[in-house]
């Protein structure tokens, strides 16, 4: 496994980070995760734009322009074996004597690694996944893809402990997103989606879903949806770069509608796979 650290490619065993790195001490940094299909990074420019936005929200300098980032990502893909990869990028404020306030002189740490991309097996897509719910216990800047993920870690573990795939979050009684995914519902043929505000991560897959819904002619309602409306929806899906689009058929041990993946999910799943294949060929 070859990784990238501060300008150089190396085997992961050789990559070293100083213990005073603010990523380690404070979780002071941001990340991105880019899926790669048949060695083609998916929606690379969109991921790099979100990275740049996350960095500027935390006032961490972006050391590379998008051309340089693209070159580094493509080189990392080339140096790793799998055809389908997930590229993880992490940028922290860098190493400095421990003090909460920003250090005066500090060089950001840039780390990238590649892992094989594992998307959900066909059997899970066909049967649908199980989710639980929780109050959204996170902060008010969930739109920043920050590495300080302690609430997300606890919420995902809650799902794993219950044998579920995801924890769906409600803030003040309204749907926000999943612990590591965006959530969509379907009600009487209309796709319901929470708006891209400070309480959810603007998913790259979320945008793809909205574009595909438009080209499929499926109406979308973007708004704040109360818990009861989500629980009584006709369909529920989760989306992310690694889960792609996955139906949720049980929430807190209660079936969603008839407990089977719905017709609009099936259409969108097909459209997503076609879109992926089209991108890979172009
Ligand atoms: N929301 C959260 C909290 C996430 O961690 C993720 C991705 O892991 C998403 C949404 C989905 O974002 P994307 O589609 O860009 O992977």
Pocket lining: 169 vs ligand 1, CB cutoff 6 Å: no
* CATH 3.40.50.170 correct for 2-116: no
Residue 180 has what DSSP assignment? T
The pTM of this model reads 0.97
Nearest CA to ligand 1 atom 9: 181
Domain borders along the chain are: 2-116, 122-281
Identify the active-site residue in 78, 145, 266, 270: 145
Mutation probe of ligand 1 site: the residue of 43, 117, 150, 182 with most atoms within 8 A of C-beta: 182
Cα-to-centroid distance, 196 and ligand 1 (Å): 12
Q: What was the pLDDT predicted at 279?
A: 81
Burial of residue 19 (number of CB atoms within 10 Å: 0-12, 13-18, 19+):
exposed
On the question of pLDDT at 274 being above 90, the answer is yes
Pocket lining: 193 vs ligand 1, CB cutoff 6 Å: no
Class of CATH domain 122-281 = alpha beta
Q: Is the ipTM of this complex over 0.95?
A: yes
Nearest to 172 by CA among 157, 194, 191: 194
On the question of pLDDT at 157 being above 90, the answer is yes
- pLDDT band for position 282 (cuts 50, 70, 90): confident
Clarify whether 266 is annotated catalytic.
no
Q: What percent of the chain stands above pLDDT 70?
A: 100
CA 109-115-120 angle, to 5 degrees, is 130
User: What CA–CA distance (Å, rounded) separates 4 from 11?
Assistant: 9
> Which run of H or of E encompasses 190?
strand 190-193
Pocket lining: 204 vs ligand 1, CB cutoff 6 Å: yes
Cα-to-centroid distance, 98 and ligand 1 (Å): 30
- pLDDT band for position 141 (cuts 50, 70, 90): very high
Q: What percent of the chain stands above pLDDT 90?
A: 98
């Amino acid at each position: 496994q070859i990784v990238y650290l501060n300008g150089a490619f190396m085997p992961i065993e050789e990559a070293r980070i100083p213990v005073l790195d603010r990523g380690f001490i404070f979780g002071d940094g941001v990340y991105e995760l880019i899926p790669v299909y048949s060695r083609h990074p998916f929606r690379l420019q969109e991921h790099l734009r979100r990275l740049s936005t996350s960095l500027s929200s935390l006032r961490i300098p972006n050391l590379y322009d998008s051309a340089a980032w693209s070159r580094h990502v493509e080189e990392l893909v080339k140096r790793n074996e799998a055809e389908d990869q997930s590229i993880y990028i992490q940028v922290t404020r860098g190493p400095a004597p421990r003090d909460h306030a920003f250090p005066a002189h500090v060089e950001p740490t840039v780390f990238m690694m590649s892992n094989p991309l594992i998307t959900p097996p066909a059997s899970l897509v066909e049967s649908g996944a199980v989710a639980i719910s929780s109050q959204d216990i996170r902060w008010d800047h969930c739109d920043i893809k920050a590495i300080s993920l302690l609430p997300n870690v606890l919420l995902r573990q809650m799902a794993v402990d219950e044998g579920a795939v995801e924890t769906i979050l409600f803030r003040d009684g309204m749907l926000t997103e999943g612990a590591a995914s965006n959530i969509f519902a379907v009600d009487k043929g209309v796709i319901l989606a929470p708006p891209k505000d400070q309480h959810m991560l603007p998913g790259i897959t979320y945008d793809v879903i909205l574009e595909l819904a438009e080209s499929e002619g499926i109406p979308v309602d973007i708004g704040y949806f109360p818990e009861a409306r989500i629980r009584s929806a006709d369909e529920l899906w989760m989306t992310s770069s690694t889960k792609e689009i996955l139906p949720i058929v049980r929430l807190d041990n209660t079936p969603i509608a008839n407990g089977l993946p719905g017709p609009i999910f099936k259409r969108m799943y097909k459209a997503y796979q076609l879109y992926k294949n089209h991108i890979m060929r172009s």
